[in-house]
Structure 1
Amino acid sequence: MTNTEQDDFVDPRGDLRWGTTSALLTDAARRLGDAEAVVDGDVRLTYAGLDAAVTEAARAFLAAGLNRGDRVAVWSPNTSQWIVAALGLQRAGGALIPLNTRFQGKEAAFILGKSKARILCVIGEFLGRDYPASLEEAAGGPQDGRPYADLPDLEKVVILSDGAPGRHTSWADFLASGRAVTAEQVQARAAEIDPDDLSDMLFTSGTTGDPKGAMCTHAQTLRAYAVWAAVVGLREGDRYLIVNPFFHGFGYKAGWLASLLVGATALPARTLDVPWVLETVREEKVTVLPGTPTLYQTMLEHPSFTPEGVSGLRLAVTGATDVPPAILHRIREELGFSHIVAGYGLTESCAIVSMCRYDDPLEIVTSTAGRPLPGLEVVTVDSAGEPTPAGTEGEILVRGYTVMKGYLDEEAETAVTVDADGWLHTGDLGSFDADGRLRITGRIKDMFIVGGFNAYPAEIEKLLCAHPAVAQCAVIGIPDARMGEVGAAFVVPRRGATLDADGLIAWARQNMANYKVPRQVHLVPELPLNASGKIVKNELRARLARGA
């Protein structure tokens, strides 16, 4: 079935009057001035103040030699500095590379090397972990004037947190270095940026096992999230507590960037701490709170919960498909939400394809991913590429302004994912109902989702095979009551090697993000293969079902 929707919520062309994130912020500062843009603990930035802070950061990036199109990585939990650094590097003409805070040093080093990032803005210590030290362990110490021996393109590391930066540059010193650059020079650079210049690259993994950078431009990002904000009902004056991580499209684009687009206030959440969330909702009069049904239920059951404390909540954005309507009815009634919405997207489509509308009934929210964004073409097709009728499952294909410009330096992978006619092959299965709403029914891809994070078996298998005692392995996703899905690994040890399951899991925790770590390891003498020599993962699933 084909679905190209134009609805009453928004001009399907989106709002392209700004062209770049820099111009968006300049316009917002002019219009909104003293309205609060970002609240982060003791840091309270008005729109005018945020604009000034971003120009200060852009001066520092220019002083560091950042050229138009250069890449800058940000590796940090959600903070006001994350937002200032991102907008500052974009105002200086750079492209943002967000790094997952759950990454181990080796994973971060791969993306830094692949993207040829020239500058890294990184938290120092967070939750007891020294991020620069973990990167040094993976990429070597300083060499030839570069911070890390194995990252020859990385020229500068800027520490975003307070405290001694050691041999790296503190955020305060980095900003001070920008005094040699004038505001007029920043304005001149910002004026050079074209709407079709890259604004960011979010890295995803896939069939090759290596992360790939999905390239998106200023114009398509601004258009997508102007449309998204209108569709979900985000509006000027909202106070948006952003618990989704900024390294993800939800926290970044559907989070603080969408807030700037409409004139809302963004409140970054470093961790998902329920008592802090309840206190912040009460004290800061939060109106918009994304989250899972589990988060909302935990809030309701917490001893410090009071109806008065959450009385300002208006809009919830949740991944609520297949949640019983009764649960969301309770969440809406006891937390006071007027509107609850859910949607579907993937990194290669600016993280958004379809979305429920803010006036959809809960029965729609719990059973579908809403309708495609206005102006997008979305179809479901069978194995021959022919459109499937309403109610019939097919692969979901997307074409339009949200589709990435391609994977960085991966022409072959790009051609497989985006065909010659511009259709993005998502690898996800779904069907449209008679009203044009999309229901996600499965995945062609091997991916599984751990607590909201996409986990790709090919990448995990590649990492596990780096263990000296592993000869072969295969990873599948299995159901888990708490996380939704987790990984299970079937491992063939090397001849003569000693390997135990618990030891391999412990090794994995040191070498990959926690959500990728298999929760089960099964040592086997061989893996089931088909006539083409490919691993038959359905047989592995059947073994687990049989308890074998």
Structure 2
Amino acid sequence: MILHEPELIEEYSDKGYWGDRTLLDRFAANRAAYPDREAVVDPPNRDELVGTPPQRLSWAEFGRAVDATAAELARRGFGKDDLLVAQLPNIWELAMLYLAAAKAGGLLSALPLQWRSKDVGYVKEITGARFYASVESFHGFDYRALGQELGFEHYIGLAALTDIAHGDPGRVPEVPVDANDIFTLCWTSGTESNPKGCPMSHNNWEYMTNLVFTTCGLREGDRILCVAPLVNMTAVGVNYLPWLAAGGTLVLHHPITPEILLRQLTEESIQYTILVPAMLNMIVKLPNVDQLDLSSVRTITTGSAPPSAWSMQEFKRRWGIEIVNIWGQNEGTSLVAGPADVPDLEMRVDHLPWWGKAGVQWPSGVSGVELKILG
């Protein structure tokens, strides 16, 4: 499914911003290069969430799960440009579905768990989606019944999805996937009206991933903690795709639970994550803050509101951690105030780089941003 105009694709390709590599190419390279490295780690409280024990999958195991799921999706009639709607907590099966849907020729549209028939029904109506995957029930709500009520043609519950992923891949579909094909369909919150779908292609995400790598100092093999729901720009753009680019380990968290979060930051040797400013303040105000060992953490991005200069200074003083102020939206735009472009911490609180401003060269070297000042 290619939605960008041919003229735009040609322009951005000629300028070197877009290319031919897909996210599936990155995935294939990782499973070949790092078969024994941990790829995905479940939240330690998975059993409380969905009733099954947490799993740790290597890149080889994760790759086989993607293949097996893509093959089963194809067997059920899921193919080129089809859309799979999913409602799952942050567990390894959700991380896997993004790649399995793409490998089968379609795309995943993961929705927040709190969405009910109004919003999920709107997504089904506007997209024509025939496939729905979900946890069977969660916190007393019956998602299987929701799928039936809305009339999805094909339903896959979590138990069946896990069995499929652990099964024999068989014949994996060979569907041509272009770098300009849509990889995800994320949605705005719909607080004032219906949710707005924001399609992002492999090339859209490739550019965003390179931007995050450049400004946040990510490295090959990094262990990344994904705290936000894996359904929108915050988690997909700031955690999931950088993990795929790093060939590292994606450590999942759900829901926000401070005790578990701190344990994962320390015990899982995390290098990179994203936390809202209130959580940064909470950590440095803990009574036992002097006993916290966050020495493995290199960078924490933050957003949604300006972080406090004090918390940024404390993270830097105590553990040498850079707090990066990031602004982004599901539509695919992002500005990042990192140590290269905004080295002064007090300024980094509420100043974002004017990338794209004529005549200005930024130390990060970020290019490809078009700036238009109105007013």
For the pair shown, the structure with the greater C-alpha radius of gyration is 1
8 Å CA contact 1:60–1:176 kept in 2: the answer is no
Equivalent residue, structure 1, for 2:12: none
2:31 corresponds, among 10, 14, 29, to: 29
> How much does 1:14 deviate?
5.4
List aligned pairs for 1:52-451, cutoff 5 A.
52-133=64-145, 135=146, 147-148=148-149, 150-151=150-151, 154-160=152-158, 162=159, 170-175=160-165, 181-183=170-172, 186=173, 188-189=174-175, 192-204=176-188, 209-302=193-286, 305-319=289-303, 322-334=306-318, 336-348=319-331, 350=332, 352-359=333-340, 360-372=343-355, 373-382=366-375
8 Å CA contact 1:241–1:288 kept in 2: the answer is yes
* Residues 64-103 of structure 1, C-alpha deviations (whole Å, 9 max, x = no match): 1112000001211211110111110111111211201221
Distance 1:44 1:252, change over 3 A: same
8 Å CA contact 2:273–2:299 kept in 1: the answer is yes
Distance 1:343 1:300, change over 3 A: closer
Distance 1:294 1:337, change over 3 A: farther
Distance 1:376 1:90, change over 3 A: same
Quick one: which amino acid aligns to residue 91 of structure 1? K
Q: Which runs of 5 or more residues in structure 1 are unaligned? A: 1-11, 137-146, 163-169, 383-548
Distance 1:54 1:371, change over 3 A: farther
Distance 1:62 1:341, change over 3 A: same
- Does the residue aligned with 1:341 lie in a helix, a strand or coil? strand
Q: Distance in 2 between matches of 1:275 and 1:377?
A: 42
Q: Distance in 2 between matches of 1:302 and 1:201?
A: 38
TM-score (ref. length: structure 1): 0.57
Q: Distance in 1 between matches of 2:92 and 2:190?
A: 31
* Residues 454-509 of structure 1, C-alpha deviations (whole Å, 9 max, x = no match): xxxxxxxxxxxxxxxxxxxxxxxxxxxxxxxxxxxxxxxxxxxxxxxxxxxxxxxx
8 Å CA contact 2:277–2:306 kept in 1: the answer is no
| Larger helix percent | 2
> How much does 1:25 deviate?
0.3
Q: Distance in 1 between matches of 2:116 and 2:322?
A: 38
> How much does 1:241 deviate?
0.9
CA RMSD of aligned residues (A): 2.5
Quick one: which amino acid aligns to residue 131 of structure 1? Y
Q: Distance in 2 between matches of 1:116 and 1:305?
A: 51
| Larger strand percent | 1
- Does the residue aligned with 2:372 lie in a helix, a strand or coil? strand
Q: Distance in 1 between matches of 2:100 and 2:286?
A: 39
Quick one: which amino acid aligns to residue 28 of structure 1? N
8 Å CA contact 1:244–1:251 kept in 2: the answer is yes
8 Å CA contact 2:280–2:311 kept in 1: the answer is no
> How much does 1:129 deviate?
3.3
Q: Distance in 1 between matches of 2:193 and 2:100?
A: 32
Distance 1:327 1:91, change over 3 A: same
Equivalent residue, structure 2, for 1:390: none
How many residues are paired up?
A: 339
Q: Which runs of 5 or more residues in structure 2 are unaligned? A: 1-14, 45-53, 356-365
8 Å CA contact 2:233–2:328 kept in 1: the answer is no
> How much does 1:48 deviate?
2.4
Q: Distance in 1 between matches of 2:315 and 2:139?
A: 30
TM-score (ref. length: structure 2): 0.82
Distance 1:358 1:204, change over 3 A: same
- Does the residue aligned with 1:347 lie in a helix, a strand or coil? coil
* Residues 206-251 of structure 1, C-alpha deviations (whole Å, 9 max, x = no match): 7982222222211221222123222211111221111111111110
8 Å CA contact 1:63–1:177 kept in 2: the answer is no
Quick one: which amino acid aligns to residue 157 of structure 1? Y
Q: Distance in 2 between matches of 1:177 and 1:53?
A: 8
